[in-house]
Every structure is written in C-alpha cells, then in structure tokens.
Amino acid sequence: MTRYLQIWLASARYSIVRTMMFRFDFFLWALVELCWMGVNLLMISVIYEHTQSIAGWSKYEMLLLVGTSLLVQRFLMGFFWSSLFELGRNIRSGYFDFFLAQPGNILFMASTRKLDPDGLLNSFVAMGVVAYAAHRLGLHPSALDLALYALMIFCGLVIHYSMLVISISVAFWITSAQGIEGIYFTLAEFSRLPREAFKGLASLAFVWLLPVVVVSNAPAHTLLHGFQPRWAFALLAAALLWLGAAVTVFHLGLRRYTSASS
Amino acid sequence: MFSALSKYQHAFLIGLQSNLVYRWNFAVRGFFSMFHLAVVFILWGAAYAGVPAIGGFSFGQTLTYFLVMLVLQFFVGAFNEDYQISEEIRNGLINQFLLKPINYFLYRFSIFLAARLVTGTLILLPLLVTLPLLRDYLTLPAELWRIPLGLTAMVLSALIQFSIAYCFGMLTFWFLEIQGFVILSMAIESILGGQMFPLDLLPGWLYRLAQFLPFYYQTYFPAAIFTGRISSLAVVGQGLVIQLGWVLVLLALNQLLWTRGLRRHTAVGG
C-alpha cells in the first residue's frame, strides 16, 4: 500500500514538474475546463429565465446538483483522464507493452501515470458553485453532512472512473474504435439531471442499470435534505459493483492484448 | 476547367472510400447522439411541465429544433478536420501538395464533403428507428420558402464550419498542439451556436450580439429557418447577407494563414 502511494506521489511530482514546463498549456486547459463548466451553468440560468422549476427543483437546487456533478467530473479529469485517454491510444499503438513490464498492478500503473493540475484547480471552482448554491438556499449542513457529502463524491468518482475504464477497455476488442471515450461523456450528461425527471424506461436505464443519475443526486440530496440511508447505500453498492465490473472487463481485455507494434 | 474539377472529384471519391472504412465509428457516434436527444427530451420535458410555452414555442417545437440541429451537425459540422489538417502539417504530409498543382484548401474541402455525405447518411439510420417514438412531437412550419432558403443557409454553414476548422488546422504552423484551442472553441460554439438551448431564449441584447458572430451561422441559422424560430422572410434575407459576409471573411483568413504559415514551415518529413 505504502509502495503504491510512493509510486503515485512520484507520478504526481512528475506531472507537476511537466505542467511547470508547459505553463501556457496549463492556463489554456484550465480555461477550457472553466469555459465548459460555464456552458453548463449558463444553460441552467437560461432555462430558469423561462420556467420556475425542473422536476420540482428550483434554480439554486439545480445549480447545486450541476455543481456536484461537475465536481465529480473535475476530480476524474484531474486524477485519471489523461492516463486513461492515453491507455486507449497505447492499446491501439502497442505502447501499452511499457505498462506490462512495470512492477505493479497494471490497471493502477496505467490509471495514475499522469495528473492534470488544471482539472484539480477547476474542482475548486466547482466547489465554489456548490457553496454559492448552498448559500443562496440558506443551507447550513453539519460537519457530519459535509463528511457524508465528501464520501459520496468519492463513491461517485469510483463509479465515473469505472465507467471510463470500461469504455476505454473496448479498445482491447475493437482496436479501430477511436473516440470511444465519447461514450462516457454522453452518459455523464445524464448526471446533471434530477432523479425525479426520469420516468419509466429512462428511470430503469439511467437510475438503476447505469448509476449516472445517483452519482450526483445522492450527494446533492444529502446537502439539501440531510442524510438518507437509502441513497447512501445505493451509491456505495453501485461503486463497489462498478469497480468490480471495471477490473473484470479490463483483465478480460488484457488477455486479448497482442501488442500491435514491434 | 473540367480537368481541374476532376482532380478534386478524385479527392472526393478517395475521401468517400476512407470515410466508409470508419462507418462503424460514425454509426456508434450516431447511436450515442440518440442518448443526447434523450437528455434533451428529459430535461426540456421537465422544464415544460406546467408551462405551455417557453420563449413562445411549444415542447414539440423545441424538440424538433434539437432534432434538426442534430441532423444538421452530421450534414454540415466539421468533426475532426482540424486535427487531420494539423497532423498533415506536423508530419510533413503537406509537403507533397506544395510541389503539385493542387489547391490544399479545395483538396481538404472535397474530402470534407465526402465525409459529410457519409456521416449525414449514417445519422438517418438511428433517426428512422427513433422516429416512431418522436413522431407525435415533431412540429415543422408549413411555409415552402423555408426549404430553398434553409438549404442555401445550410451550404453556407458547411463553408463556415469547414473554414473555421481549417483556420484551427493552420494554427499548427505556429503552435505544436491545437487541441486546447479546438476544445475551447467547441465550448463557445456550443453556447453561441445554439447547441445547448435555442439562441432566441437568450436575453435580447445577447441574442442580437450573437447574430453578428459566425457561431450563429454554423448550425443555428439554418435550423431556425427550417423549424420556424425565425418567422420573417426579411430577417432570413438579412441573415443570409451576414452569413455570406462571414464566409468571405473566413475564406480570406484561411488564405492569409496559409501563406503566412508556409513562410514558417520547415518541411520536416513527408
């Protein structure tokens, strides 16, 4: 465990040094992520100019939900995105051999090679959005509520990470599948919607089968209405289940890896 | 004249073949676009609950708008032309065009047209499957003048989309990596191009400002003509003039970046 922490810290140090070397890139990408968050917030603001509520959620409740969804996504972008995006490319090109030769868990090594400080910087902006929405709603969450919120965000990060690993692992079977990570972004769109808006088949697919809606709705509910065991357990179970599925799919794919190069 | 055209006809046919190789990629992309439509349906369906009209339009009209936007993006949108051009510059593949009597812009545009023919046709397949579910919601205006004027705006939109992608590709002469610029521009386009919400829902002053920017003419303008979000013929005429102006400005910018960029080009590889 300590050894893995040391490896992760070494990768983080390397990423930060690299960012300091390419400062323009850092500012550009920070701006890119900030603009995309702005796009989502502006959309909410424009819709609420014309309606009072979306599935029973007021403007600031919705802002809290979208902020929570963005927070999970910023963590994913900051901690894992670059490494996993390269994983797909490496499987196609054969550079993945390099990870097979490393003395450690392959999925860990491939997932933590690069850190994106720009994504992590923007997670503070997402936290600011949540804090602003909570302030406008007059919420005063207790320390326990905040700790539970943080724990749920962590579970959400595990689910998003697992979904991305499964999407990228498709490359083991279909090597020509470029841009397959787009699947993840399409599914992530659902996490910005309130649970109550899903009915019938959509509820079954996106709330129960794919837990994209629970990931953002469960922590947001905790801040808005206090701790609800039903939501918390659903999220924890989904996180464990999806992480298990991601590890299984990744290792099944690994057996098919034939190294495209050399 | 005809021999010049036949050169680009060959480029078009090669583009058609190479895009057909990636037909499954486009088909998967088309399939997942239906999920985007599901998000639109759920979000706007919830927003319309208890509200008969938003911005003067019914839920059916808004849903039709998003559907037309989606189809237009597959028919006129630049997908990864900027990356392809950037790669050709970086790898030195453009060197061959510098030695041959081929206009690089026209060569790339021929391939762009072929790619849009393939993606446009492929999006119609998932659309046909979902049509029975959406049929009750689709509401299109009856005026016939919308078809020729909408198609004209669509052709000009394709030119704007391609020219913007070409400009980003040209940036490779100055910058090693253009991905950051492209994704930043995508964020601006998604708002000012009307992909997130119909632009007429913006506050009045911002909507008027958007009408003078090129993003408005990328997909929103033809979509608004087809779906009746622009009601008057005079406003359409005025829009077409501004759109044509942007086409000319962007074509000139393309040429300027190409000639200036070539001065910096060191022709490595190829």
Residues in chain A: 262
Mutate to test the interface with A, among B43, B119, B178, B185 (most CBs of A within 10 A): B43
Residue-wise pLDDT for A149-184, tens only, equals: 999 999 999 999 999 999 888 888 876 666 667 778
Size of interface A-B (CB pairs under 8 A): 91
User: What ipTM does this complex have?
Assistant: 0.85
Helix (H, G, I), strand (E, B) or coil at B139: coil
- Smallest Cβ–Cβ distance between B188 and the set A28, A35, A51 belongs to A35
Domain assignment present for A262: no
**For the purposes of burial, counting CB atoms within 10 Å of the CB of B81, is it exposed (0-12), middle (13-18) or buried (19 or more)?**
buried
Chain B from 98 to 137: CB within 8 A of any A CB: none
Which amino acid type is present at position B193?
Answer: G
Element (H, E) at A80: none
Mean pLDDT of B59-88: 92
Per-residue tens of pLDDT for chain A, all 262 residues: 788 899 899 989 998 898 888 888 888 888 988 898 899 899 999 999 999 899 999 999 999 999 999 999 999 999 999 899 888 888 888 888 888 888 888 899 989 888 888 888 889 999 999 999 999 999 998 898 899 999 999 999 999 999 999 988 888 887 666 666 777 888 888 889 998 898 888 888 887 788 888 899 999 999 998 888 888 888 899 999 999 999 999 999 988 887 765 4
Could you tell me which of B101, B110, B82 has the C-alpha nearest to residue B8?
B110
Q: Do A190 and B49 touch (CB under 8 A)?
A: no
Q: Is B49 on the interface with A (CB under 8 A)?
A: yes
Cβ–Cβ contact B20 with A under 8 A: no
Interatomic CA distance for residues A119 and A13, integer angstroms? 16
Range of the domain at A73: 2-256
Quickly count: other Cβ atoms within 10 Å of residue A85's Cβ: 15
Q: Does some domain include residue A261? A: no
Amino acid, single-letter form, for residue B84:
Q
Residue A21 near chain B (CB below 8 Å): no
Domain ranges of chain B: 2-264
pTM for this prediction? 0.87
- Best CA proximity match to A253, nearest among A242, A245, A241: A245
CB nearest B25 (choices: A38, A51, A178): A178
Q: Enumerate the β-bridge partners of residue A54.
A: A57
Between positions 149 and 188 of B, the ones with CB within 8 A of A are: 177, 180-181, 183-184, 187-188
Residue of A25, A41, A47, A206 to mutate, testing the B interface (most B Cβ within 10 Å of its Cβ): A47
Check residue B91 and give its pLDDT: 86
Residue A197 lies in a domain: yes
| Alpha carbon distance A171, A93 (integer Å) | 11
CA A219 to chain centroid, in Å, comes to 14
Return the structure tokens found at A223: 């801040």
Q: How many domains does chain A have?
A: 1
Q: What is the DSSP letter of A103?
A: S
For residues B201 and B114, the answer to whether their CB atoms sit within 8 Å is: no
